[in-house]
Chain A
């Protein structure tokens, strides 16, 4: 008499479906398709998308790019970490390593920067707060995103991928200045 007995009908796949189920399946399917098309739609009309631009690299190579970048645009230091102010619209390098985000970036509001992100050791998580943008950062892969800060102020970069005992102290900073 139940769900744990074999179906009553020999040809159970031919028995008619009730109205409740048919209507619900129809509505649910439409909703599923709407959700599916929202993602390509946002790629065309939305402003928050990942570029899919990424390169294989090595920690050594990426370290060299970061060092060159820091040397070129360094304007100061905080707690031993260089503060770097790249020109508007330029390529910006940020490395995650045990346990800091290197270097501190100073950007201009409403300018678009090409941010290069990679890890020099383990997995890290780039979590820009309180904006709340979260990206996975892997060793051996250099992700490039075009980022346009639209608020001025100081923002924290929390590491939100577990990276060992000092994970909680891994904190970086992005400073955004009005033009």
Chain B
């Protein structure tokens, strides 16, 4: 008996404990996604004014639970699995301190359950942000704290695994780019969790009466150092996965290791500043502070994302061209495996994240433009482009890869899997575009009734705003359907999917009787070798290695510039303020 097994299809080596931990974390994440998705239906059907499904109290409860399960539990559980994959599996190294890793998982799981109990009981409907002085039940905060401590332990297991890999020389040279990207995510995660602890521990003590007062402005500043940075973990994680996916599907290597790693380094240095995005219209902060922070110093983290935006598809293009797909600008893209959900999920998420999520994020994060966007439904539209179509769809695409590789199962209902990224993203993009529109017309986020029933005074939004919310509702329903397709395929594969031998036995992750004997037959895999040097080849045109991608990047830039100045123009039309 050894410590490792090798996936015969992909060649990846799995350490026994990392194997089980990844499965447990991925499954816990998918359960959280299921909860978030079901609740999404309640949110969207209530905001669709002519349906207006839920009563106000249930709506706010559902909205709170939807946000926390979707944005925190699903994504972070899954990210922990990604961290273990990027360290143990990619570096062919045993996982550091598996018992600690299980303890971390246990804390995260109990924290998630505790928080969900607090919210779903209906007594902690404070939204994900839980702005003081509105108070939730103590176990709302305690659940989040336990979850964060568990995630922190997982980050240190990841760091420890990197140290062991270096020490035991399981790889040559520098760590692979994907591991480097995951390391970026983990470093940002430590900063994020520390901020979370600084704000949530006193808030917990306040909720049980040990602290008399928490300042509302201070809470928002520090909470967002946690809240926004946690989204930056997602960016670093899903960009790393993009590099992984193009590596697996196309054998792509980064156009330049230096450029891609430099871009990740910019994330570490500047990405956490974005707390200011959420507090641009708050009292008590100076414009200098806001401008410096909201722009990540001088948009240096945006620069990093723009770089990845070129190098990810560019690396794919170079790999495709070297296989002979050199006709015109876009043969490499046209002849990509569009029927493979690993590819389509990845590529759609790349495009939507860049074109919609990225552009709207920078626009609304501009100090003054934020005045016409703050807290409107434009904001959720933006982060559904980044976190749902960006991060979540990437994770879904990765799951389709992991079903055979990690879980050793055949994909259940492959036709459904094939359509899933298209259905899901079509629904999401519809929802996003129309909520961006409604937000521009001033429709509020986190609001039960845009008709203001029961108000003493009256105000009517434009009829177009109602129409837009209805269309976004249709998109939302379609997206929930697409999300349901993912759950059916993922869970179905684990339960009904035909076993690919040899199997590691998924049920063992939960200490249940194994269905098949474990086959960890490798003591220590061979050292992970450097990539081979490529002969100097030229497949692009006029000195460009990836001309098609360069054209796409220029289109992105033009959209960006035009949309950016349209918003300045809109801002200049509102009442003067100083």
Spell out A's residues near B (CB within 8 Å): 1-10, 12-13, 15, 17-21, 23-25, 27-29, 31-33, 35-36, 38-40, 42-43, 46-52, 54, 56, 78-81, 100, 104, 112, 117, 121-123, 125, 127-143, 145-151, 156, 158-173
Contact = CB atoms under 8 A, between A and B. Distances in A.
A39 B366 contact: yes
Contact of A161 (B283, B287, B375, B449): B375
Given A18-B255, A136-B282, A173-B457, A2 B448 contact: no
Contacts of A149: 575
A48 B574 CA distance: 8
A165 B375 contact: no
Contacts of B533: 8-9
B371 A135 contact: yes
A79 B295 CA distance: 44
A158 B220 CA distance: 21
B302 interface: yes
B176 A36 contact: no
14 contacts: A4-B90, A4-B177, A10-B173, A15-B258, A20-B546, A21-B259, A32-B298, A35-B366, A42-B568, A46-B571, A49-B577, A134-B371, A147-B576, A158-B459
Nearest to A104: B457
How many residues of B sit at the interface, in one of the four size bands? Answer: 35 or more
A173 B171 CA distance: 67
B281 interface: yes
A3 B315 contact: yes
A140 B528 CA distance: 58
A141 B218 CA distance: 11
A22 to B, nearest CB: 9
B250 to A, nearest CB: 8
Contact of A165 (B60, B171, B447): B60
A147 B440 CA distance: 21
A18 to B, nearest CB: 5
A94 to B, nearest CB: 13
Contacts, number: 340
Contacts of A168: 56, 447-450, 452-455
B283 A143 contact: yes
A159 B442 CA distance: 11
Interface of B is mostly: loop
Given A33-B298, A79-B457, A140-B215, A146 B133 contact: no
B264 to A, nearest CB: 12
B456 A165 contact: no
Contacts of A169: 449, 452-456
Contacts of A49: 287, 368, 577-578
A56 B283 CA distance: 9
Given A4-B244, A134-B371, A51 B291 contact: no
Given A39-B295, A150-B575, 20 more contacts: A1-B531, A4-B178, A4-B247, A7-B176, A20-B545, A24-B553, A32-B300, A32-B302, A39-B366, A52-B287, A78-B457, A122-B134, A133-B575, A134-B281, A134-B375, A136-B220, A158-B452, A161-B375, A168-B453, A173-B459
A37 B366 CA distance: 11
Contact of A32 (B172, B303, B534): B303
Contacts of B291: 36, 39-40
Contacts of B459: 129, 156, 158, 171, 173
A101 B310 CA distance: 48
A27 B575 contact: no
A171 B458 contact: yes
B470 interface: no
Interface in B162-202: 171-179
B320 interface: no
Contacts of B375: 125, 127, 134, 136, 160-161
Contacts of B300: 32
A50 B259 contact: no
Q: Which 3 A-B pairs have the closest CB atoms?
A: A156-B459, A2-B247, A143-B283
A12 B310 CA distance: 19
A35 B295 contact: yes
Given A48-B571, A79-B456, A7 B376 contact: no
B56 A135 contact: no
B2 interface: no
B150 interface: no
A6 B179 CA distance: 9
Contacts of B327: none
B247 A3 contact: yes
A136 B374 contact: yes
A66 B366 CA distance: 32
Nearest to B554: A27
A17 B259 contact: yes
B328 interface: no
Nearest to B282: A136
A149 B530 CA distance: 66
A28 B306 contact: yes
A92 to B, nearest CB: 13
A27 B561 CA distance: 12
Contacts of A31: 306, 557, 560-561
